[in-house]
């Protein structure tokens, strides 16, 4: 689509990188892995650096994540942005193979009349293949559960990964190269461009220390399978179909949003998760759980910082 009379960008367009450019990605979560995949497909040389001994082990380490569009009852620019982002993400996960995403419906169950009115407005605002109303509930067809651990298989043997290294200093040389230093002060690599996909740790790098992200801890709960349906059930919380976890097959429910950085599993969070699930359990048996910290921008939108790239999903 050609947009007429569009204003010129307010920033100077950076010179495009040439195809032989070497790009460093700091952080091996779902953001870093997705970026690695895209940059490799575009023909760049890439190196991903992760501070832990395993990739996909921080916020992206859950056994399953809901792929759910953010929907709105009004016609705002955010509506178009989130819809495009959702469709792109769904196609991307599908392109990684059938094991990466379990396609199913997501059913958002209404709690009261006010919510039904809002749901009606939302349904009117979207095509039926995105969302529709049925029995006062919103149905999102062709949504799904993303299984992040399966994304590891999309990493090729030839991909350059540096593990157990925390990058905490970047320096740019006069010819524009970026030097990446580890926590012991050693130079780890140099690169033509750097992407920061290291979530809330961007604050520890001087060039991005001004970007303030909230740290919001979340806990999910694994329950002995009582719900054997194929679809995701949502209201204030969600319940997944049975999923493979470290405790065997389980329904997963969650997730809490807590303003703390405690990584110890709490009973209160389990109770809250079970309470918020739109399903009448006979006898919910808790098998375990997992906690991690999300990084959130104030307006929940992704960040892009010129010259140095920051990606937040
Ligand atoms: C309990 C819970 C449930 C959630 N459920 C859902 C859901 O259902 N659907 C959904 O879409 N989202 C969900 N989210 C949010 C989602 O998990 C995050 O948005 C996503 O995982 C963020 O990915 P990321 O790659 O940006 O960050 P992370 O996965 O946190 O990855 C950042 C990586 O950077 C590494 N790192 C940090 N600093 C450095 C450094 N200096 N040097 C090298 N490496 C570094 C870290 O070790 C980490 O591996 C949930 C989050 C939580 C906590």
**Residue 57 alpha carbon, nearest atom of ligand 1:** 49
Q: DSSP assignment of 188-237, as one string?
A: EEEESEEEE--GGGGGGSGGGTT---EEEEEEEEEEES----SSEEESSS
Q: What does the pLDDT look like over 261-301, one tens digit per residue? A: 899 999 999 999 999 999 999 999 999 999 999 999 888 87
DSSP state for residue 114 in the 8-state scheme: H
Query: Tokens in use for 21?
Result: 């450019």
How do strand 160-162 and strand 187-191 relate by DSSP bridges?
Answer: unpaired
User: How far, in Å, CA of 11 to CA of 4, rounded?
Assistant: 19
CB atoms < 10 A from the CB of 141, how many?
15
Q: What is the pLDDT of residue 2?
A: 47
Closest residue by CA, ligand 1 atom 5: 65
DSSP state for residue 9 in the 8-state scheme: P
**Residue 218 alpha carbon, nearest atom of ligand 1:** 1
Residue entry with tokens 């999923």: 243
Query: Tokens in use for 87?
Result: 């469709």
Test site for ligand 1: of 145, 181, 184, 199, most ligand atoms within 8 A of the Cβ: 199
Instruction: Judge whether 250 and 240 are in contact, CB under 8 Å.
Output: no
Q: What is the pLDDT of residue 311?
A: 54
User: How far, in Å, CA of 104 to CA of 110, rounded?
Assistant: 19
Residue 175 has pLDDT above 70, yes or no: yes
CA 199 to ligand 1 centroid distance, Å: 7
Q: What does the pLDDT look like over 210-219, one tens digit per residue? A: 888 999 999 9
Q: What is the dihedral of CA 174, 180, 182, 185, to 10 degrees?
A: -10
CA 75 to ligand 1 centroid distance, Å: 30
CA 189 to ligand 1 centroid distance, Å: 24
CA 200 to ligand 1 centroid distance, Å: 9
How do strand 214-224 and strand 248-254 relate by DSSP bridges?
Answer: antiparallel
Instruction: Judge whether 268 and 219 are in contact, CB under 8 Å.
Output: no
CA 312 to ligand 1 centroid distance, Å: 9
Query: Tokens in use for 130?
Result: 């995105």
For ligand 1, residues with CB inside 6 Å are 26-32, 49-52, 57-60, 62, 65-66, 166-168, 197-199, 201, 218-220, 254-255, 292, 294, 312-313
**Residue 293 alpha carbon, nearest atom of ligand 1:** 53
User: How far, in Å, CA of 140 to CA of 87, rounded?
Assistant: 12
Closest residue by CA, ligand 1 atom 13: 65
CA 232 to ligand 1 centroid distance, Å: 22
Q: What does the pLDDT look like over 95-130, one tens digit per residue? A: 998 899 999 999 999 999 999 999 999 999 999 999
Instruction: Judge whether 50 and 159 are in contact, CB under 8 Å.
Output: no
- Tell which residue, 308, 61, 73, has the closest CA to residue 193: 308
CA 31 to ligand 1 centroid distance, Å: 8
CA 57 to ligand 1 centroid distance, Å: 8
Residue 156 has pLDDT above 70, yes or no: yes
Test site for ligand 1: of 65, 106, 164, 207, most ligand atoms within 8 A of the Cβ: 65
- In the chain the domains, ranked by start, together with CATH numbers, are 22-58+151-211+303-310 (3.50.50.60), 65-146 (no CATH), 214-296 (3.30.9.10)
**CB half-sphere exposure, 237, CA atoms < 13 A:** 24
Residue entry with tokens 């709105």: 72
Query: How high is the mean pLDDT of the chain?
Result: 91
Residue 304 has pLDDT above 90, yes or no: no
């Amino acid at each position: 689509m050609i947009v007429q009379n569009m204003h010129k960008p307010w920033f100077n367009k950076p010179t495009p990188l040439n195809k032989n450019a070497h790009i460093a990605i700091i952080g091996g979560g779902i953001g870093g892995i997705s970026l690695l995949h895209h940059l490799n497909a575009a023909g760049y040389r890439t190196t991903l650096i992760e501070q832990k001994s395993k990739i996909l082990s921080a916020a992206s380490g859950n056994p399953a994540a809901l792929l759910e569009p953010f929907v709105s009852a009004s016609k705002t620019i955010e509506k178009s942005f989130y819809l495009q982002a959702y469709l792109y993400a769904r196609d991307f996960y599908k392109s990684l193979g059938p094991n990466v995403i379990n396609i199913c419906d997501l059913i958002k169950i209404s709690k009261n009349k006010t919510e039904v009115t809002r749901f009606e407005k939302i349904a009117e605002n979207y095509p039926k293949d995105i969302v529709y109303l049925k029995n006062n509930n919103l149905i999102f067809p062709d949504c799904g559960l993303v299984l992040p651990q399966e994304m590891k298989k999309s990493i090729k043997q030839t991909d350059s990964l540096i593990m157990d290294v925390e990058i905490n200093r970047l320096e740019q040389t006069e010819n524009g190269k970026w030097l990446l230093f580890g926590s012991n002060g050693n130079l780890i690599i140099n690169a033509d461009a750097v992407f920061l996909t290291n979530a809330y740790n961007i604050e520890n790098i001087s060039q991005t220390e001004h970007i303030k992200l909230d740290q919001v801890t979340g806990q999910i709960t694994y329950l002995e399978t009582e719900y054997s349906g194929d679809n995701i059930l949502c209201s204030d919380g969600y319940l997944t179909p049975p999923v493979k976890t470290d405790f065997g097959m389980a329904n997963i429910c969650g997730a809490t949003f807590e303003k703390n950085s405690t990584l110890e599993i709490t009973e209160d969070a389990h109770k809250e998760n079970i309470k918020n699930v739109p399903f009448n359990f006979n006898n919910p048996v808790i098998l375990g759980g997992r906690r991690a910290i999300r990084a959130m921008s104030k307006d929940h939108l992704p960040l892009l910082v010129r010259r140095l790239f920051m990606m937040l999903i």
